[in-house]
Amino acid sequence: MMQREISPLDGRYRERLAELPSYFSEFALMKARCEVELAYLEALDRAGLFPALQDGERERIEGARTSFSDADFERIVEIDREIDHDVKACEIFLREKLGLAQPNRIHFGLTSADVDNLAYGLLLERFRDEQQLPLLRRLIERLVDLVEAWKDVVFPARTHGQPASPTTLGKELAVFLSRLLRQAEQLEAHRFRGKLTGATGTYASFVAAFPDHDWIAFSDAFVESLGLEPNRCTTQIEDHDTLAEYFAIVSRINNVVSDLDRDLWEYISRGDVIERAVGREVGSSTMPHKVNPIRFENSEGNVAVSNALLHALSDKLSRSRMQRDLSDTTVKRNIGVALAHGHLAIGGTLRGLERIEVDEGALRAKVDSSPEVLAEAIQTVLRVEGVEDPYELLRGLTRNREVSLADLHSWVDGLAIAEETKKRLKALTPGRYVGLAEAVCDAVVIEATDWLAG
């Protein structure tokens, strides 16, 4: 019987997210929980608190770590169905699989939240490093290429939707490149926290069993061995504040991507940017001529879903009743959904960026067709010349009127200013009025390439 999916992540978009079940499936979570339990066994062994593991036991522990199978997962699920506790099911499974002479050391002193928070920390750190950052790097690399290629392509600017002082297309894309780069640096530097503090965060059961052992140092070392930052002061659960901080970074990245999507959509709709048609793709079921910017539209939609979930996750996970309630566990299972939609968004934007091109001549002609945008330059120069209230003079000349370049030149000729200044003003054209746009592009590209190389 054909499987019918509830979520488009497991249906329509499954192929685009083929790597993500390694981080966000029930299989991945059970595997990570077992990995934490197995690493904990080895840490206890190194601490010398129990009789040393035998060589055969160490081999079985290593084998369980490196070859977690579908059959292993199914056995855990089977146990979970019987006892209705997924982390305890992992413990029972490991007791069966490892056959240790002293199985009581498995899950020794731990609460399920100790195992769970560390498992999620492992999965999120790996997703960030192995999938999220590499995809973001690809987007940044693509923007670097476009900024360099189009840094001198004059482009019609709009402020409040009206013609404004011209820019270059490269400079406008450099804005998004710069914003993404800042968030990428924060994402890369972010550290997830983890805790190993017992049932209510007091290390009580550990101390009861081995009162002379330094359990805070042991806990810190173990959490750090997993690549996480120790959180010593907790309730039964890790407070999830670094998860909320991580979600905030991802949400900001999503917003920059969506902002880029929306601008490119506008540019395409106005003909300022062209989207190439590819192969047999269809833009409309009834209008054969259409080439729709659907990759940017889909990206924008996926950002909306992702950010709604990220905000909900941040709000819920950073609050818990007293020492612990269970409402966070079902919420955390949706972390992968939120991040997957963000992943789809960046992928869609990347595919869209691969298809856009420009007609430089047409863009220059469009910019030069709005000579009134030179009013800013003229009134600014006239301020230096000491002309009284040049802004009001230019406002009267240009507002709600069609003004040609010849009109502006004639008006400048009538001013009581130096001839050299008149000559300089009359040499201006909208297409050459882009200031330091290229220099801005070069600076952002250098910053981005430095980060990419690092």
312: β partners: none
For residue 71, the tally of other CB atoms under 10 A from its CB is 8
Catalytic option among 7, 225, 269, 284: 284
- In angstroms, rounded to a whole number, what is the distance separating the alpha carbons of residues 24 and 28? 6
Q: With contact defined as beta carbons under 8 Å apart, do 405 and 371 qualify? A: yes
CA atoms of 16 and 183, how far apart (whole Å): 24
How many other β-carbons are positioned within 10 Å of the β-carbon of residue 287?
9
The active-site residue, picked from 67, 160, 285, 289, is 160
How far apart (Å, rounded) are the C-alpha atoms in residues 37 and 108? Answer: 9
Q: Which of 56, 63, 73 is nearest to 22 (CA)?
A: 73
3-state secondary structure string across 320-369: CCCCCCCHHHHHHCCHHHHHHHHHHHHHHHHHHHCCEECCHHHHHHHHHC
284 is catalytic: yes
Q: Distance between CA atoms of 335 and 348, rounded to whole angstroms?
A: 20
Q: Nearest Cα to 30, choosing from 92, 110, 98, 105?
A: 92
Structure tokens at 370: 């709005």
**Quick check: is 160 catalytic?**
yes
Do the bridges between strand 193-194 and strand 229-230 make them parallel or antiparallel, or are there none, so unpaired?
Answer: parallel
Write out the two tokens for 155. Answer: 């482009």
State how far the Cα of 172 lies from the Cα of 170, in Å rounded to an integer.
5
Q: Terminal CA-to-CA distance of the chain, rounded, Å?
A: 50
Contact 220, 232 (CB under 8 A): yes
Q: Give me the phi and psi of 164, to 5 degrees please.
A: -135, 180
> What residues are annotated to the active site?
160, 284
